[in-house]
Amino acid sequence: MTRADLLIIGAGPGGYETAIEAAQAGLTTVLVEAREVGGTCLNEGCIPTKCLCRDAERLSEVSHLTDLGLPPMEASPDFARIAARKDSVVAALRSGVETMLKHPNLTLMRGTARFAAAHTVEVALNEKNESDETTETIEATNVIIATGSVTKFLPIEGAHLPGVLTSTDLLALDHVPRRLCIVGGGVIGMEFASVFSAFGSQVTVLEFCREILPNFDSDVAKRLRTALKQRGIDIVTQARVERISPSGEGELTVGYTLKEREKAVTADRVLMAVGRGPNLTSLNLDDVGIAYTKRGIETDESLQTNIEGVYAIGDINGRCQLAHAATFQGRRALNHILGRTDGIRLDIMPAAVFTAPEAASVGLTLEEAQAQGIEAAVGKAFFRANGKALAMGQSEGLVKLVATSDGRLLGCHILGPHAADLVQEVAALMRLNGTVKDLSETIHAHPTLGEVVLEAARRLG
């Protein structure tokens, strides 16, 4: 039996970063991972998709050189090289994580964990462990569950046919599908739609809700949908997918209902992008009494479960399915274990969609503020009036600030170049209880994209 101050199940961003910090703080720490370190984000999510997003962005720039007054160039993607670059980036980062995990207070154990008791876990070891044993029992004073999430599937006929892919499957493809149907217009669906359209696929997106990106600001979502449609992506909203059927050699037909009329689209591959659910498999939570729902493991504001000394961070608790959310939840849980206080604001959580153009958001939308009974106002500014954006040839989009009547910043929503970077300025101000006046009186360099944020604040002032 192994004894530890802290056991962490899952070596995704939340798990491995918390393990490193715990070891540095002097806790004897065991980190258990069934697959590769880095979790979904590094191996099958954020990082590989961002590699593809960057390649797609460059390809789009090449195909629009004449708009910048430059001679045209042939723009034909070499997908084998694109995939190889993606894999090399992932491998380099994974190797870096493994190096960081080499600490005298930290043991990385590879295998699948299940609870035997509230603070006792049995690990079925896999081949990567340098041990002749097949199982290991770990008893820990504190346990953090960080097992992440898994792809959801619609409960429809044909959902698991060959050619119906998860995001992991799509990232592993060795070719660009001629026709790609994406079921779901959330973050995952829209990023892949943007990427594979740029690579040459004929892309159709079927979204059940009235608008794509249902959790984003409505202005941002509508403008993004318009921009992507102009690039040739067919986006159908309010589409209820009913079935997927084989049709012809290697083809799939996706049947859906739109305004009570039956319709269908034929594709070579279908991406199932209808969200992710908590990865509760094999944990044996019921026998040890850890409370959970279909959304995930229930936790308090310290990320502690109903069992003292047992915590759950990241996608597994269903609070926010973002890598950086898992990381900061891990810090909150570790601080609670160590008896430290912190000023982390888990309610101020930036999010981004790496489409072309990018979308990003932090805080409340106007509709959310109003639903909470907050008297709020909006200030908008547009990239088409920004010198840097025009010089870049990327003038599509806007910045939308939401603030209280007395000027306290509530949220920021951006569509446009480098939106993911720009939104961080407002996130930092919100963390410090900043106001519209603070933002409008902060000098911004010229010419920069950040001036669009400044102009939105001035229009609120």
The span from the CA of 460 to the CA of 189, in Å, is 34
Q: Residue 324: is its pLDDT beyond 80?
A: yes
Please report the pLDDT score of residue 63 as a whole number.
73
Domain residue spans of the chain: 2-37+101-150+277-338, 164-274, 357-460
Catalytic residues: 446
pLDDT at residue number 132: 63
pLDDT at 272 (0 to 100): 97
- pLDDT band per the 50, 70, 90 thresholds, residue 65: low
Bond from prior residue into 357 cis (ω within 30 degrees of 0): yes
Residue 440 has pLDDT above 90, yes or no: yes
Q: What is the reported pTM?
A: 0.94
CATH homologous superfamily, domain 164-274: FAD/NAD(P)-binding domain (3.50.50.60)
**Confidence band (pLDDT; 50, 70, 90) for 316?**
very high
Could you read off the pLDDT of 118-159 as tens digits, one per residue? 999 999 998 766 666 689 999 999 999 999 999 999 999 999
Domains 2-37+101-150+277-338 and 164-274 are alike in CATH topology? yes
Domain 2-37+101-150+277-338, second-level architecture: 3-Layer(bba) Sandwich (3.50)
Burial class (CB in 10 A: 0-12, 13-18, 19+), 358: buried
Considering only CA atoms, which of 159, 186, 271, 180 is closest in space to residue 234?
180
pLDDT confidence band for 66 (50 / 70 / 90): low
- What fold characterizes domain 357-460? Enolase-like; domain 1 (3.30.390)
Tell me the C-alpha distance between 226 and 396, whole Å.
Answer: 11
